[in-house]
Amino acid sequence: MASETLAVRGGKPVRSTPFPRRAPFGEREIELVTQAIRSQDLFCYSGTMCKELEKRFAGFYGASHAVASSSGTAAIHIAIGALNPDPGDEIITAPITDGGTVVPILYQGAIPVFAEVDSSYCMDPADVERKITSRTRAILVVHLFGNPCDMDAMTDIAKRHGVALIEDCSQAHCTSYRGKLLGQFGDIAAFSLQQSKHMTTGDGGMTITSRENLARRMMLFSDKGWARKPGWGARVYELLAPNYRMTELQGAVGLAQLDKVRAVVERRNELGSLLTRRIAGVKGIRPAPLTPGGKHSYWLYALGMESFDALEFAKALSAEGVPAGAGYIGDPIYLCLAPLMDRRTFGRSAWPLEGAGGHAPVEYRRGLCPRTEEALRRMVTLGIHEGYSEADVEDMAAAIAKVASGLAAPAK
């Protein structure tokens, strides 16, 4: 392999044919969507699909209650709304995540506090504990890329400090930690059903809990706070809340997807584990990490660069026919969200970052989580999904080895 010229330098690429496009939908989705349309009722409260999806999703995760919603962001907002933080309360969360994890915190008047990541790319429990103050209302863990957080440590921290624990399982459907599914550890958990997720309705979300006091607020928060009680007559809205209702079309697709998700995740775990084995001896890179006790579901495969520039490696790997990206989100989320960096939230104000509940002004800047910033600078991400074959993964591994060898040698 060392003698091969890299494709980015004019050599022949490892792979010249595209990888298989993911095709998550099939005849069962078409059948159930057709049933929904023929019912002439696509409203979740009078239809049957969303109710059935909520019931079955809750059962799948061993929860007492589930509330379907319009997106993963909505699902997280419902979770935070159910906790009902006071303005200026703090919620500790991950610095490597989508904006959909952070925006709901701000909309509920709470302050996002970012904990460093450890070698797993997930939140470092030790830094989470360091960030807890008298104003901490919740810890919002993000199971990044399908790799579980250290939930033994997270549940212990939350319990000892008396704060709520929310799980963001958007990238970690049907993913286990020490024999239990993620989503079963916290007080409340949120899932995204966006197109790229292990199970998808195109867009959509789900929030689950087994705590009765949270379940009622979850339901109300997804539906404008509307208490739909028979015999009440005039409408009653019990709390301030948005409208995040799912439609019967999404519910129909979700029912078919729920039947597939276990097999989808098992296949991704097989393929991701195969790739890890194949590149374990490649010098200068670190295969995707796995949290001890966890089983990875590989929403993305994250390589760590030990000896190479991530952007250069990603470009060279892409030239070999294996699409790759550098840095995932580029910078930690606090540097990506203009409302945080520029303190530009509602109108001309910086609320809740300034003045909410008497909280001192909060600023987000480079250097806030230096380990995280370095981890992203050294990260290369690869797509992998259940439609890949073992041969596809072998090509990925061969290209990674070729690029590592070629970049380590002087250009000819």
Active site residues: 197
Q: List, in sequence order, every beta strand (DSSP E) within 291-336.
A: 294-295, 301-305, 324-326
Bridge partner list, 188: 166, 209
DSSP state of 410: P
Q: Quick check: 6 and 402 in contact, CB under 8 A?
A: yes
CA distance 30 to 6: 44
Handedness of CA 94, 57, 156, 104 (dihedral sign): positive
The SS3 assignment for 18 reads coil
Element (H, E) at 161: helix 151-161
CA distance 193 to 254: 8
Pairing of strands 136-142, 90-93: parallel
Collect all residues with Cβ–Cβ distance below 8 Å to 389 and sequence separation of at least 6: 20
Q: Phi first, then psi: what are they for 181, rounded to 5°?
A: -70, 140
Q: Which of 97, 176, 84, 75 is nearest to 141 (CA)?
A: 97
Pairing of strands 111-114, 90-93: parallel
